[in-house]
Amino acid sequence: MYGLRRLQLAFAEAVFSRADARVAARIRANRLDPTRRVQVYRNNTFAGLTSALKAVYPAVQRLVGADYFRLAAEEYIRNHPSLSGNLHHFGDRFGEFLVTLPSAAGLPYLPDVARLEWAYHEVFHAASGARLNLEGLQSVPAANWGRLGFSLHPASRLIASSYPVLRIWQVNQDNYEGDQRVDLGEGGVRVLVLRNDLEIAMYSLGFGEFAWLTALATGYDITRAYEQACLVQPDFDLNTCLQCHVMRGTLVDWHLTDGNPSCFTDQVERSTTCIANKSHHFSENLV
């Protein structure tokens, strides 16, 4: 005899894998064939989840066409069924899934377009963040500025691609009326997706800027993040970058890390001292 949990799991398997026979005999179908009843549930489930994917990935659908997208969505749903009761969480692995599709190999940028759209989706539904507490920041002794860590806005995501996915995304918006041409030869892009209040913006970032924000997001203090930025962009301007992202609202909180100032280079020490001297200027600009 099937227990409730076993019966529920068997029914879910039938919905997603077409293994109808295992549960058909246990379905009261109200004069409808039990297998047909399972098919009704299957069709409704796949239709609902496909609609959810279409809502998150409109640019991907425009790039591949509605028919191909529907077939890809069905395969994704079958192999990656929803694990959450919140439909907003469904579709997080779609970009990685597209990498595995041989039929999508002719569009090598497609997975990154999907990742960008998922970042937009996450940012839209993420929590709001407060402005950076600059008054408290100014109270930090200058000797400790090199140990400052910063938290990025919870409604922000960083995306890097070897393809011009921001341009691809832009020209595939319903309201886009400009030049539709995209030159894949222009190379990759690094993007900050950021929501302030109800407005979502996408910013193209420089190599150093992206490396610096990524390092901060992973827990590096400002000095070690600066070192990471300089590895990819030796002329990285920390002062300008910090001021930009304070004003933009990318940075929402600060803390002191356990970093060891004795390992800092002279160049890093000079940079953090210069930042400390500009803290009042940041505050004045944010008033």
pLDDT tens for each residue of 178-199 = 888 999 989 999 999 999 888 9
Higher pLDDT, 263 or 247: 247
Torsion of CA 67, 70, 93, 229, to 10 degrees: 30
In the numeric block, the tokens 């979502």 are attached to 200
pTM: 0.84
Task: Print burial letters for 276-287: b (CB count within 10 Å at least 16), e (below 16).
Answer: beebeebeeeee
Mean pLDDT of 230-234: 97
Q: Return the structure tokens found at 119.
A: 């970042």
What is the rounded average pLDDT of the residues 215-224?
95
Q: Are the CB atoms for 165 and 186 separated by under 8 Å?
A: no
Which pLDDT belongs to residue 236?
96
Question: For the chain, what percent of residues have pLDDT higher than 90?
Answer: 58
Question: 283: pLDDT confidence band, cut at 50, 70 and 90?
Answer: very low
Mean pLDDT over all residues of the chain? 85
Residue 125 and residue 88 in contact, taking contact as beta carbons nearer than 8 Å: yes
Question: How far apart are alpha carbons 138 and 146 in whole angstroms?
Answer: 13
Does position 39 have pLDDT exceeding 70, yes or no? yes
**Which whole number is the average pLDDT over 69-92?**
91
Among 148, 96, 119, which Cα is nearest to 271's? 148
pLDDT band with cut points at 50, 70 and 90 for residue 74: very high
Q: How far out from the chain centre does Cα 266 lie?
A: 36
Does residue 138 register a pLDDT over 90? Answer: no
17 pLDDT band, cuts 50/70/90, is confident
Band (24; pLDDT cuts 50, 70, 90): low
> What does the pLDDT average to over 198-221?
96
Residue 42 is predicted with a pLDDT of: 80
The full 3-state SS of the chain, as one line of letters, equals CCCHHHHHHHHHHHHHHCCCHHHHCCCCCCCCCHHHHHHHHHHHHHHHHHHHHHHHCHHHHHHHCHHHHHHHHHHHHHHCCCCCCCHHHCCCCHHHHHHCCHHHCCCCCHHHHHHHHHHHHHHHHCCCCCCCCHHHHHCCCHHHHHHEEEEECCCEEEEEECCCHHHHHHHCCCCCCCCCCCCHHHCCEEEEEEEECCEEEEEEECHHHHHHHHHHHCCCCHHHHHHHHHHHCCCCCHHHHHHHHHHHCCEEEEEECCCCHHHCCHHHHHHHHHHHHCHHHHHHHHC
* pLDDT band, very low/low/confident/very high, at 55 (cuts 50, 70, 90): very high
- Would you place residue 22 in the very low, low, confident or very high pLDDT band (cuts 50, 70, 90)? low
What type of residue is 153? H
How high is the pLDDT of residue 262? 38
Residues 6+ apart with CB under 8 A from 2: 10, 26
> Which residue's structure tokens are 């909180």?
253
Residue 133 confidence (pLDDT)? 85
